[in-house]
Chain A
Amino acid sequence: MTSTGQKRSLDRTPTTLSTPNPRRLPSSVALADEHLLVAAAKSGDGAAFEELVNRYERKIFRLTMNITRNREDAEDAMQDAFLKSYAHLQTFQGDSRFYTWLVRIAANEALMRLRKRRPNQFSLDEPVEGEDDLMPREIETWDPSPEQRYAQTEMQEILNDVIEKLEPDFRTVFVLRDVEELSTEETAKALGISIPAVKSRLLRARLRLRQKLNQYFRKGESN
C-alpha cells in the first residue's frame, strides 16, 4: 500500500493555506561541492574540514538543541560530533551525504546526553502505540498565512515552546525527518529503531505539533 520512499518530498496539494515559503531549498541541492571538500579533508586538508564545520555548525547545533533541549548538552554534543567525524573521517565511505553521516553522529551524541539526563523519560525501544489516541481534537480554521502574524523571533519562540513540550522520542524522530530531512530509512538507522516505529512516531509528532500550534494560529487569535 505504501512505500517507505527515499528522500521525503512534501506533497503540497491540495492545500487551502499559504503558498510554500520560497526560502526553503531541498537539502540535496544546497551543497553541490560537499564531496570535494570531504575528499580534500580525507587527504589531510584541515582547511577543507573546517569549511565543512563552518557550513554545518549552525544546523548541527539546532539539531542537538532540538533533541536535548539543554544548551550545555547541545554544545557538548555538537562539539563531540564534529571531533568524532574528524577522527573517523577515513571510515566515511561516501554512500550517503557527508551531512547525513554527520547528523547521525550528532543525533547519537545528543541522545546519549538526553538519556543520561532523563533516564526514565526516554526510550526509543518501546513498542509502537495503538491508534486509539490519534484522532485530533480542537479542529479550528487557521489564518491563511499564520506565520505572517508573528515577527521572526516571536515565531522562533513559539516553535521552541511547542517542540519542547513534545515527548523526547516523538521530538527526535520529527527533528530528524522534518527539520533535517533525513529519509524514513536514514532516521530508522540513525536511531536504531524499525521503519514502522519511525512512521508511527512521526505521525504522532506531527499531529501533536499541529494541535499545539492551533492555539497560536487559529483564526482571530490575537498575538
Chain B
Amino acid sequence: MNCKGVIRELSNYIDGDLDLAMKQELERHLGHCEDCTMIVDQTKKTVEIFCDSAPVALPRDMRARLHEALHHKMKEKLT
C-alpha cells in the first residue's frame, strides 16, 4: 500500500472498519512512513477532540421559549 492508499482508507481504518489483511497492510506502511503516521494520528485526534466537546448550556431565554412552546403543544393535544 502506498501513501495514497492509506489516505483513501484512513476513515475506514480509524473507525475499525477495515478487514484484517487490509489493516495489516496499512500498518506495515505506517511502520516506515512518518508522514502517513502523523496524518493518521492527527486525524484520530481531530475526531476525538470534536467528539469530546461538551454541548454548551442553552441560554435561559431560549430554554424558556422551548419549554413554553412545548407546554402549549401539550395543552393543545389534551383539548
Chain A residues near B (Cβ < 8 Å): 1-5, 8-12, 14-18, 20-21, 23-24, 46, 49-50, 53, 57-59, 61-62, 75, 78-79, 82-83, 86-87, 131, 134-136, 139-142, 146-147, 155-156, 159, 163, 174, 178-179, 181, 199, 202-203, 206-207, 209-210, 213-214, 217
Q: Quick check: B41 and A24 within 8 Å, CB to CB?
A: no
A-contacting residues, B20-79, CB 8 Å: 22, 27, 30, 35, 37-39, 41-58, 62-63, 65-67, 69-70, 73-74, 77
- List the interface of chain B (C-beta within 8 A of A): 3-4, 7-19, 22, 27, 30, 35, 37-39, 41-58, 62-63, 65-67, 69-70, 73-74, 77
Q: How long is the Cα–Cα vector from A3 to B15 in the complex, in angstroms?
A: 10
* Residue in B closest to A152 when the chains form the complex, CB atoms: B54
Contacts of A58 in B (CB 8 A): 55-58
Q: Is the CB of A134 within 8 A of B44?
A: no
Expressed in whole angstroms, the Cα–Cα distance for A46 and B54 within the complex equals 27
Give A139 to B39 CA distance when docked, in angstroms.
7
Q: Which residue of A lies closest to B10 (CB)?
A: A203
Q: Which residues of A are found within 8 Å of B49, using beta-carbon distances?
A: 147, 155, 159, 213
